Amino acid sequence: MSFKIMLLPGDGIGVEVVSSAVKVLKLVAEKCYISFEFNEGLMGGCSYDEYGTPLTDEVLEECRQTDAVLLGAVGGPKWEGLPHESKPEAALLKLRKSLGLFTNIRPAKVYDSLVNSSTLKPEVLKDTDFVVLRELTGGIYFGNPRGYDDNRGWNTMEYSYEEVERIARIGFDIARNRNKLVTSVDKANVLECSQFWRKVVHEVHKDYPDVELRDMYVDNAAMQIVRNPRQFDVLLTSNLFGDILSDIAGVITGSLGMLPSASLGTKHALYEPIHGSAPDIAGKNKANPLGTISSVAMMLDYTFKQPATASLIDKAIEQTLRSGFRTADIYSEGDTLVNTEEMTQLVLEKIEEMNTD
């Protein structure tokens, strides 16, 4: 089997963590008799510096011609003063919209060996394992009109029936293979758009009588994630709310550097860690590569339909953490501090040791 992967390292630590993930992919390819063809392009601030745009038409077309895209991170203070359409983050929105990536899957799982790495109590965190399912191509990030002048700023939150229905069905399908619970998060007490969201989700739920559905306001959901995260299985929510809640989940794992994500459409897929470009540590070999390595495990599972190979990577990460190795973002007294390259090498060694028969 052969697959094409488009690499978009982006800005800051994106370059380092994507390099780590590619090393892992190359190793599992050898062990599991899979072939990968890699292409690489510029996206984000680095693309703006080179071409005057954060995402060229040529790179976008290359993304369309591949089986999956692996993104590092985009943005940084250097480009904050640019107009909206030229900002590195605008490239990410354009990529998601152009590839039709309407589903963002962000797991939040607490490894037993990291239960003390968060600021939350271990007894609160233990056995936490849920998924934030974020609608990605609609809502307030894409609605029109939008803009600002000297006196006011405005954005439009809107959803069509189809946009809500398709993400809801994916949420119920995922829950069927987990613990059969969907918590739909909205702000239906004050927002008409959320009232519409809730109405459509409940209509879709009629086709899934075996899955429990709960409704929760977004402010309560934010509180409950840090109060009792074990109560959740699949969190289903809109673009803006999902963006915020999935970052709150970083508190649970101890670091955003641990969190992977998948953005899926009907034809295309994008995988990326949810952390930013971290310009303060870029180029210093300090970044945590595990979020990106976990993202390629999701790629192997969701897009390439290689769950056993994905499991190989997940087990290697878990064993490495269990052995006490930590990058700076998850380090505690008594751990063994390692840098980006060392953490990557440790995961590679664990994979190498595993039997794939």
219-240 per-position pLDDT tens digit: 999 999 999 999 999 999 999 9
Question: Which of these, 315, 220, 255, 235, lies nearest to 110 by C-alpha position?
Answer: 255
pLDDT tens-digit profile of 319-352?
999 999 999 998 888 899 999 999 999 999 999 9
Task: Give the largest CA-CA distance in the chain.
Answer: 66
Q: State whether the Cα torsion 345-92-309-31 is positive or negative.
A: negative
Predicted model pTM: 0.88
Average pLDDT value over all residues in the chain: 94
Spatial separation of the C-alpha atoms in residues 312 and 355, rounded to whole Å: 9
Residues 233 and 130: beta-carbon distance below 8 Å: yes
Task: Specify the pLDDT at position 8.
Answer: 98
Catalytic residues: 141, 187, 219, 243, 247
Spatial separation of the C-alpha atoms in residues 262 and 299, rounded to whole Å: 7
Task: Specify the pLDDT at position 1.
Answer: 78
pLDDT tens-digit profile of 14-56?
999 999 999 999 999 999 999 999 999 999 999 999 999 999 9
CB atoms within 10 A of CB 93: 19
Grade residue 305 by pLDDT with cuts at 50, 70 and 90. Answer: very high
Residues 141 and 105: beta-carbon distance below 8 Å: no
Task: Specify the pLDDT at position 65.
Answer: 96
Task: Specify the pLDDT at position 253.
Answer: 76
pLDDT tens-digit profile of 242-270?
999 988 887 787 777 888 999 999 999 99
Region 96-125: what's the mean pLDDT? 89
Task: Specify the pLDDT at position 198.
Answer: 98
357 pLDDT more than 70: no
Spatial separation of the C-alpha atoms in residues 45 and 68, rounded to whole Å: 22
Task: Specify the pLDDT at position 82.
Answer: 95
Provide, rounded to the nearest whole percent, the portion of the chain with pLDDT above 70. 99
Task: Specify the pLDDT at position 119.
Answer: 81
Spatial separation of the C-alpha atoms in residues 113 and 318, rounded to whole Å: 8
Q: In order of start, what are the domains of the chain with their CATH numbers?
A: 1-106+254-357 (3.40.718.10), 118-253 (3.40.718.10)
118 pLDDT more than 90: no
